[in-house]
Structure 1
């Protein structure tokens, strides 16, 4: 339990650092190339880790190939370019704020794709997220267009939806697999899908198929950090946290992503505006309140004594 909590805290921190890292890298690199590169570095590392720590074939039990392609294609191949291109067409502060909508998006995705009813406690949180994001884009100093959408914000929402679907589907479809195996195998399929998307974007004139080499050690260090810490470490600890604590509890830690990100960006000299801070607070407050209420009800249900059977026997699920 402690390991899952610490792992999710690590995930939140590393994912927050991505926002600042990509803000630097996008000055020189194509976003589609960056989206593909970070997983291309990470997949071999995770496969090696699976080989060294686990026995048996890479895919231990039969899983329909189309499910592996869907998990990799949607959860990695499509998620990554939507996220990075979204970062490219929005400010780092806006990227941090819209990333915080992930729990609300997850509730909608679970309802649409898996038939999970939306908890009524999440409805105010979803409304807070909508109002908070709208307020964060409002710039009263801009008289012609006070709502400063860069276009990338919508792609970040799509990326959140892809990741939410992957997080739920992976635990259902690959039940019994270790989290490092789930991460490694889906990364392989996702990397292949991402390369395909990158090539198609290049052929359509939307991506640079001949990127320049890294200019300095800082860029190489950021690439290594994103691949090893954010992807290999962050995705593995996220999947582990979802497995142990569930998506609702794991999503609590995602509320820390914009807070970490805004602190990091402020240290780098990119201060958020007052309306952006208020918008962030609304998003985090709404989601945090709903999730804490849900956890409280679960705890009460878990502590509620079992009803006695006839004769005073206690119901038990033990076999």
Structure 2
């Protein structure tokens, strides 16, 4: 059992390292609207899933109609809607604030899963969870306070735009609280199924959604005479390269690693390990900025790490 938990934790770490890349894409392609980034990423994910699905067709044939319907719902909420919210938030509020709002996911998922999945995973007493969740919340407060001070000190900042970015980031949290819990339900009830095949199935179901969204975006821009060079925008080579890289690494590899973790770990523990995504995203964002985080931000990150480090040993596999 310890080996399964260790392996699951390593898979969650790998997923976090992959997912952190999606926070950099909107900063690099800051002249692209969020819909182009979201639908482009998942169009790439779906196209990458096509040859992978052919290679894994034997396992995919075992999925029932209900399984494919579940994959479609997971793809819509956990992929398309989530990244629309996230990319929009990043472009309105920059990197750190949306990153840290998304960073509340370890707290939110742990609380929801601890109550919802008590029969399957066991219920951890709230007094055991409170210290780690308190440290994580305090860390988030420190980082957000630092960002608010930076906003107030910037004479060119737009508080309304910044606030909308925060609201959109909260929408992303709602989507990705629902997704891992439902995804874990399927994986834990189908332990004989391949997490790799389930990642590919979600990619295949994402393809029609992303294709439709991309086509509608193209039609809207054409109908409104928007100053936008469809279908690939003003920097086509960079756009295609970024979408393919994120589609492969963040979407397929990240989903594969997360599926492996979700099949081995209690959902409340897997939720807390999403902190690896938060830390990776912060690191990548500051590398892109070529800046060093201030003391308060570093203190917030330290509290975040301490909270998860405190909380993980409290969990036990059922």
Distance 2:165 2:308 in 1: 22
The Cα offsets for residues 112-139 of structure 1, whole Å up to 9 and x where unpaired, read as: 8x47578511452564365345424330
Across the aligned residues of Structure 1 and Structure 2, the Cα RMSD in angstroms comes to 3.6
2:94 aligned to which of 84, 91, 94:
91
Alignment of 1:125-140 (within 5 A): 125=135, 127-128=137-138, 131-132=141-142, 134-139=144-149
Maintained 8 Å contact 1:50/1:180? no
Cα distance change of structure 1 residues 77 and 212 upon mapping to structure 2, 3 Å threshold: closer
TM-score, structure 1 as length reference: 0.75
Distance 2:151 2:173 in 1: 30
2:20 aligned to which of 13, 16, 22:
16
Maintained 8 Å contact 2:110/2:269? no
The Cα offsets for residues 53-106 of structure 1, whole Å up to 9 and x where unpaired, read as: 351554523417654442222122211211111211121222332232221121
The answer to which structure has the higher helix fraction is 2
Structure 2: 5+ residue stretches without partners: none
User: Which has the higher relative contact order, 1 or 2, with Cα contacts under 8 A spaced 6 or more apart?
Assistant: 2
Distance 1:166 1:141 in 2: 32
Maintained 8 Å contact 1:78/1:194? no
What is the count of residue pairs matched by the alignment? 294
Residue of structure 1 in register with 2:299 after alignment: 278
TM-score, structure 2 as length reference: 0.75
The Cα offsets for residues 143-194 of structure 1, whole Å up to 9 and x where unpaired, read as: 7999964422332232233123221212323532321222222233344345
Residue of structure 2 in register with 1:74 after alignment: 77
Distance 2:55 2:81 in 1: 29
Larger CA Rg, structure 1 vs 2? 1
Residue of structure 2 in register with 1:305 after alignment: none
Cα distance change of structure 1 residues 38 and 147 upon mapping to structure 2, 3 Å threshold: closer
How far did 1:238 drift?
0.8
Cα distance change of structure 1 residues 151 and 195 upon mapping to structure 2, 3 Å threshold: farther
Maintained 8 Å contact 1:106/1:160? no
Residue of structure 2 in register with 1:180 after alignment: 196
Cα distance change of structure 1 residues 191 and 272 upon mapping to structure 2, 3 Å threshold: farther
Worse-superposed segment, 268-277 or 96-105: 268-277
